[in-house]
Structure 1
Amino acid sequence: MFGLLATAQAAELKIGDKAPEFNLLNQAGETISLNQYNDKWVVLYFYPKNDTPGCTEEACSFRDNINRLIAQKAVVLGVSLDSQESHADFAKKHELPFNLLADESAEVTKQYGALLDLKVIKFAKRHSFIIDPKGNIAKIYRSVNPKEHVRDVMKDLKALQDRE
């Protein structure tokens, strides 16, 4: 139990913090880094597992709203501990038009405070972040409803952009 508590308390990012940099493989085997999206809004969402009901619903909701998000000058990046090959299958099966990043070592997920480590199994919690064009955390979602999340992200993204 203490291990769970320690993991839950690790890396508690706050609004205004610099978003931790990363270099991860996407579903096509290309290295994607956060800094390549400087000057863009980034929606970085962590999810437990490819092809599970909630994760599929959330990914497809991002897919179905991708043009609205692009119109809001945002890039969507999904992250889980699944392999690059698993991401490739998942993205192809559901026609996902955004990068899915493989964090098999769980290092990035841990940096963002989204790792659930049960010792026998590790997975990403369903946490999301909006990162502003300067690379700072602008919004944190620690409790995500896969069905409504994209709507909340688009509304919050608009409010954040209106403040600029």
Structure 2
Amino acid sequence: MTALTGPSGRGKSTLLYLLGLMLKPQRGEILLEGQTVSALNDGARARLRAHRFGFVFQDAALDATRTVLDNVTETALYRGERSADSRRRAIRLLERFGVDVPPDRKPGQVSGGQAQRIALCRALLSDPRVLLADEPTGNLDPVTSTLVVNALAQHASAGAAVIVVTHSPSLAAACDREISL
């Protein structure tokens, strides 16, 4: 688990977007398991993201027109998973992270902290090999922050690469390494 830290405006989130294949680098390349992936076309990068990556955006980036449950299971559609299976896993994740709202509620009807935990559930649904998180504890109370940090650490312990952008000294301290930009 690696923390990207440093003052605002240094490019931490941009680096996360590059690593997550949402942006193409102007120079250099991005490798995944020894293969260059940064030069892939948009469709190939999107397929790779759907199958290998999880992303927690700083603002949660939930679709306001879809339910909480649909927001969590959205990425499963791109992987061709059975809806019933992904919905069961999503409900377990929502329970694990204490998102105590009806699954048919819309994102505009939840708190910022709940939205952030919903985004984490979405990112973890596919058990991604690479989990990228931009300020994953920014809107959370200390108890819930600890729950999220522990979940990220557990995911890293299971063999995933977990990279977090953070201004939180406690989150950075929980990481195996810190890169300051």
Which TM-score applies when normalising by structure 2?
Answer: 0.26
Structure with the bigger percentage of strand: 1
Which TM-score applies when normalising by structure 1?
Answer: 0.28
Larger Rg: 2
